[in-house]
């Protein structure tokens, strides 16, 4: 009986924790609070909105990102999505992105030690010695009809993770790009139109930033390469600091009940834990 009571107590605590997180995330965070009337006019080219300027400053400032070229990181990625897709990268993989163009290197991409590379919409896999083993020029088109149950081969995995991490790591620099359209819907909330020439989760996405610190709290999108109809909320749980520059260190991608709506506390669709991060 004592064991039953202990197990029951643990279950109650777990459920209570999830309930509190659900209430907090869906009612008290910047993504949930009523923030006033919605603006639909995009910012003029080359002009940062107040939210964009605050965010850029929070992540190191304009000069830092204009002088940088790459982000180097060590990450552990997991979650339900990769179980459903039957593919994933090993823990503590090294991911390096070029912040100025969609170029990502994942080392290794699997237990064999092979290296995955995304370059725009093209992907390839090379041996540790540099021999090209596989390549695909139309990775985006290859995944256009993907569903949540569609299995991934290694090239599809490289494409998905390659463009995803390029987007996550290059975000502060993206705010200054002339080929990306940003609209400040209201204070703390930016909506972006990436157009059709960049590999991203979905063309239209929404970002919520803390109105005091300027740090990112949530990013909503439709991960077309994973499932065409899914509504994802990429929630930032923690930030780290490297050489004085803040970066997102813990993300959990949740399923949203509706576009930009309430999120479910579990399961974790994707988990991202950044163990090392450096801007070069």
Q: Residue 39 has what pLDDT?
A: 81
Q: In 3D, which of 249, 226, 254 has the Cα closest to residue 238?
A: 249
pLDDT digits (tens, 9 = 90+) for 31-63: 665 555 678 788 888 899 999 999 999 999 999
Q: What torsion do the CA atoms of 120, 125, 127, 130 make, to the nearest 10 degrees? A: -30
> CA-to-CA distance for 245 and 241, rounded, in angstroms?
5
- Total domains, the chain: 1
Could you give the maximum distance between any two Cα atoms of the chain, in Å? 68
Q: The domain spanning residue 221 has which CATH number? A: 2.50.20.10
> CA-to-CA distance for 141 and 167, rounded, in angstroms?
19
Q: Is the pLDDT of residue 194 over 90?
A: yes
Q: Is the pLDDT of residue 148 over 90?
A: no
Mean pLDDT of the chain: 90
pLDDT digits (tens, 9 = 90+) for 65-122: 999 999 999 999 999 999 999 999 999 999 999 999 999 999 999 999 999 999 999 9
> CA-to-CA distance for 260 and 244, rounded, in angstroms?
32
Q: Is the pLDDT of residue 12 over 70?
A: no
Q: Token pair for residue 198?
A: 């960049």
Q: Tally the residues of the chain.
A: 280
Higher pLDDT among residues 174 and 45, named by residue: 174
Q: Residue 171 has what pLDDT?
A: 97
Q: How confident is the model at residue 28 (pLDDT cuts 50, 70, 90)?
A: low
Instruction: Give strand pairing partners of 252.
Output: 235, 271
Question: Looking at residues 260-278, what average pLDDT do you find?
Answer: 93
Q: Which domain covers residue 148, as residue numbers?
A: 2-279
């Amino acid at each position: 009986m004592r064991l039953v009571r202990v197990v029951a107590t643990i279950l109650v605590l777990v459920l209570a924790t999830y309930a509190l997180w659900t209430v907090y995330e869906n009612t008290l965070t910047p993504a949930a609070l009523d923030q006033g009337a919605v603006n639909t006019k995009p910012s003029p080219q080359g002009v940062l909105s107040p939210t964009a300027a605050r965010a850029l400053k929070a992540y190191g400032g304009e000069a830092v990102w204009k002088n940088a070229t790459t982000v180097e990181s060590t990450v552990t990625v997991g979650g339900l999505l990769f179980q459903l897709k039957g593919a994933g990268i090993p823990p503590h993989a090294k991911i390096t992105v070029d912040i100025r163009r969609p170029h990502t290197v994942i080392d290794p991409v699997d237990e064999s030690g092979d290296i995955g590379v995304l370059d725009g919409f093209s992907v390839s896999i090379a041996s540790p010695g540099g021999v090209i083993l596989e390549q695909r020029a139309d990775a985006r088109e290859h995944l256009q009809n993907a569903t949540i149950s569609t299995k991934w081969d290694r090239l599809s995995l490289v494409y998905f993770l390659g463009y995803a991490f390029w987007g996550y790591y290059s975000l502060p620099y993206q705010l200054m790009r002339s080929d990306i359209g940003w609209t400040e819907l209201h204070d703390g909330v930016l909506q972006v139109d990436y157009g059709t020439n960049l590999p991203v989760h979905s063309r239209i996405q929404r970002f919520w930033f803390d109105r005091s610190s300027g740090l990112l709290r949530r990013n909503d999108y439709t991960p077309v390469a994973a499932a065409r109809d899914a509504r994802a909320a990429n929630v930032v749980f923690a930030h780290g600091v490297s050489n004085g520059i803040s970066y997102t260190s813990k993300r959990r991608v949740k399923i949203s009940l509706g576009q930009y709506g309430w999120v479910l506390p579990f399961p974790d669709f994707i988990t991202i834990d950044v163990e090392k991060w450096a801007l070069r």
